Amino acid sequence: MQILKAEPGSFRDPYGKIFYVDDNILRVARYDGINRINFISKNNLLEKLISQDYLIDSKITNQYDSIIDNIEGKIIIKHKKIPFISYPYEWSFEQLKDAAIHHLDLHLFLLENNATLIDASAYNIQFNINKPIFIDILSIKEYVEGEFWLAHKQFCENFLNPLILKSKKGINFNNWFKGNLDGIKTEEIYSILNIKDFFSYNIFTNIFLMNYFDKKILKEESKKKIDLGKKKLSKVALVSILKQLRSFIKNLNYVKSKTTWDTYSQNNTYKKNEEDEKKKIVTNFILKNKFNHLVDMGCNDGVYSEISLSSGCKLVVGFDYDLNSVENAYIKAKNENLNLLPLYLDAANPSSNLGWNETERKGFKARAKFDGMLALAFEHHLAIAKNIPLEQTLKWLINIAPKGLIEFVPKNDETIKKMLLLKGDIFNDYNEQNFKDIILKNAKIVSEHNVSASGRKIFEYNVL
Amino acid sequence: MLKIIFTLYIYFFSIGTAHAYIDPGTGSIILQAILGFIAVILAGASFYWNKFKLFIKKIFKKDKDANP
C-alpha cells in the first residue's frame, strides 16, 4: 500500500503543499494555485522552463488522485527528486552567487513570457548536483503590467546581502544565515558597511536607500499613510533593475583568506606512495560496492570524491567545514561536470532541524541517507580538536551510512601533535585498539590497511 | 551618474502620501519607483546616445564616400 506523507516544511503557500507518496514528490495546488498551473501550462511555458533547465522536471498527473482523495478541487504536479536537499547556509559564496544568477535569469525569462515570480526565497533554488535549479512552480504567476517586484527586499536579504557580506567584509554568511533563516537583514548589513562601500550604485540603492525608506516609512506610518496604489513600475524598468542586479552579482568576488585546508590535497603530511595507496584503497572499496549515494565527510577539494565517481559511484555529497575547500570542490564539480555536491558542515555543530515547529528545514541527520561513506583524516577533528569522545564520534559517523571507510590518525602523527601542542594529551582513551573496539561494537570490520609510516590506518566497516 | 541619483534622492524625499496599508516591504516599492525612473532615463539617454553615435558615423561615412 502506498503511504501518503505531508512535508512539514511546506506550509507557507496557502495555494500549494508538498506530499510524498513513497519516493515520489507531489505538489498539490488549490485555489489560485490552480490558475497559476493553468497559466504555466499554456503556451508551452512549462515545457520551455524545464527544457531550458530553469525549473525542476515537473508533470501534471492524475495518477495519485485516489491516494490524495481528501483534498477537493486540486491539481497534482509530480516533481523529479533532487538527489540531496541543501540550504543556502550550507552553500559557498560561488554556490549562492550561481543560485542568485539562476533566480534572476529565470525571472527575466518569465518576464519575456509575460510571467513573473511572487517571491525570491533562496530555498526555492536547489542544487541538482552541480547546477542550480528552481523547484517551486507555484511561485510563478501571470505578469500584470505595472506591478512592482514585491520580492525585491526578499531577494536582497536572501541573496544580495549575504554575498555583499562576504565580498565587502570577508565575513562568511553561513552561520548568520542559519541563525536567521530569512537571510541577512538590510538594516544589519547597512550598519556594517562604510561610506566607501556605498559608492557602488547597487549597494547604495539596494542597501542604503532600501534601509532609508524602510526607516522613513516606519516613522511615518503612525502619522500618515502612503499611497502606492497609483504608482506603477513598467516592465522595461523591472527588467532593467533585474539586469543591473545580475551584472553586479556576476562581478562580485571576495579576497580569499588563506585557510589551513584549502591547499591540503597538495600539501599534506602524506608521502607520494602513501597517498597512492590511500587512493587505491578508496578505488577498490567503491569498485566493490558500486554506491548510488556516497557521502565524503571532510571532502576538502573533492580528491577522493572524484576518485569515487570515476570508480563507478553515481553521486557524492561532500561536506567540509572549510568554506574555501567547499568552494574549490564546487568549482571543480561545475567545470568538470562531476556528480559532486560539496556543502558546508561544521560536524561539531551540524545543521539541525530549524524554522517553524523545528520541522521547516531539516537537520543533517534527518537528510543523511547514504549507502556509503568516506571519512578520511576526519575523526581527529572531532575527537581531538573538539573534545568529542571517541566513542560518540565513531558512533555518529557509522550511523551516517551502513558501509564506509574511516581513517584512524594516531597521536604521534604530525597533525595530532600540533593539535595537542598547547592543549596537552588529555585523551587517554584515544588509541588504535580502542578505536577498533568501538567500531566492532557498532559494525563488522571488513578490512584494515596501514596508510602511513606514522601509523594512520583505514578501517572498512559494514553494519549489515 | 551620482548627480542623477542625488537629484532623484532629493526629489523622492517628498514622495506622495495618501492611503494604503503598509507592510515592511513598502520601502522597496518606493525604491523601485526611483530605480525604475533612473532605468527609464538611462534607457532614454542610451537611445539618444546611440542615435547620436549613428549620426556621427554617417557623417564620417559620407566624407569617406565623397573622398574615396
Domain boundaries, chain B: 2-10+27-66
Are the beta carbons of A217 and B5 separated by less than 8 Å? Answer: no
Could you tell me the pTM of the whole model?
0.89
> Same domain, yes or no, for A243 and A104?
yes
CB pairs A-B closer than 8 Å: 108
pLDDT tens column, A120-143: 999 999 999 899 999 999 999 999
> Same domain, yes or no, for A194 and A316?
no
Q: Chain B residue closest to A202 (CA)? A: B35
Residue A350 is part of a domain; what is its CATH number?
Answer: 3.40.50.150
Q: Is residue A266 part of a domain?
A: no
- Predicted pLDDT at B24: 54
> Same domain, yes or no, for A217 and A286?
no
Q: Is the pLDDT reported for residue A174 higher than 70?
A: yes
pLDDT tens column, A38-90: 999 988 999 999 999 999 999 999 988 888 777 777 899 999 999 999 999 99
ipTM for the predicted complex:
0.71
Q: Between residues B56 and A54, which one has the greater pLDDT?
A: A54
Confidence of residue A277 (pLDDT cuts 50, 70, 90): very high
- Predicted pLDDT at A2: 78
> What angle separates helix A93-112 from helix A161-169, to the nearest 10 degrees?
140
How far, in Å, CA of A330 to CA of A333, rounded? 5
Confidence of residue A443 (pLDDT cuts 50, 70, 90): very high
> Same domain, yes or no, for A443 and A302?
yes
Contact A94, A249 (CB under 8 A): no
- Mean pLDDT across A195-205: 95
Residues of B in contact with A209 (CB under 8 A): 9, 31, 34
Q: Is the pLDDT reported for residue A221 higher than 80?
A: no
Q: Is residue A168 part of a domain?
A: yes
Q: Percentage of chain B with pLDDT > 70? A: 54
Interface of A with B in 203-262 (CB under 8 A): 204-206, 209-217, 220-221, 224-231, 233-234, 236-238, 240-241, 244
Q: Is the pLDDT reported for residue A280 higher than 90?
A: yes
- Predicted pLDDT at B33: 87
Mean pLDDT across chain A: 92
Q: Is the pLDDT reported for residue A222 higher than 60?
A: no
Q: Is the pLDDT reported for residue B15 higher than 70?
A: no
> Same domain, yes or no, for A30 and A67?
yes
Q: Percentage of chain A with pLDDT > 70? A: 95
Residues of A in contact with B35 (CB under 8 A): 205, 237, 240-241, 244
> Same domain, yes or no, for A188 and A226?
yes
A94-103, A150-159, A218-227, A420-429: the lowest-pLDDT one: A218-227
Q: Is the pLDDT reported for residue A266 higher than 90?
A: no
**Residue A127 in 3-state DSSP?**
strand
How far, in Å, CA of B57 to CA of B68, rounded? 16
> Same domain, yes or no, for A340 and A227?
no
Q: Between residues A257 and A413, which one has the greater pLDDT?
A: A413
Q: Is residue A257 part of a domain?
A: no
Confidence of residue A346 (pLDDT cuts 50, 70, 90): very high
- Predicted pLDDT at A259: 67
pLDDT tens column, A404-430: 999 999 999 999 999 998 888 889 999
> Same domain, yes or no, for A300 and A426?
yes
Confidence of residue A314 (pLDDT cuts 50, 70, 90): very high
> Same domain, yes or no, for A285 and A144?
no
Q: Is residue A264 part of a domain?
A: no
> Same domain, yes or no, for A161 and A307?
no
Residue A405 has φ and ψ, to the nearest 5°, of -115, 130
Number of domains in chain A: 3
The residue among A61, A79, A97 that closes a domain is A79
Q: Is residue A267 part of a domain?
A: no
Confidence of residue B18 (pLDDT cuts 50, 70, 90): very low
Interface of A with B in 311-340 (CB under 8 A): none
DSSP letters spanning A236-279: HHHHHHHHHHHHHHHT---PPPP-SSTTTTTSSS--HHHHHHHH
> Same domain, yes or no, for A135 and A180?
yes
pLDDT tens column, B20-35: 445 557 788 889 988 8
Cell, residue A101:
544568477
Query: Which residue of B3, B11, B35 to mutate against A (max A Cβ within 10 Å)?
Result: B35
How far, in Å, CA of A108 to CA of A102, rounded? 10
Nearest by CB to A228, which of B9, B26, B35?
B26
- Predicted pLDDT at A272: 78
- Predicted pLDDT at A294: 98
Residues of A in contact with B30 (CB under 8 A): 213, 217, 226, 228
DSSP letters spanning B30-68: HHHHHHHHHHHHHHHHHHHHHHHHHHHHHHHHHHHHH--
Q: Chain A residue closest to B25 (CA)? A: A153
Distance from CA of B22 to the nearest CA of A (A): 7
- Predicted pLDDT at A262: 64
- Predicted pLDDT at A43: 80
- Predicted pLDDT at A67: 82
| Domain region containing A280 | 272-462
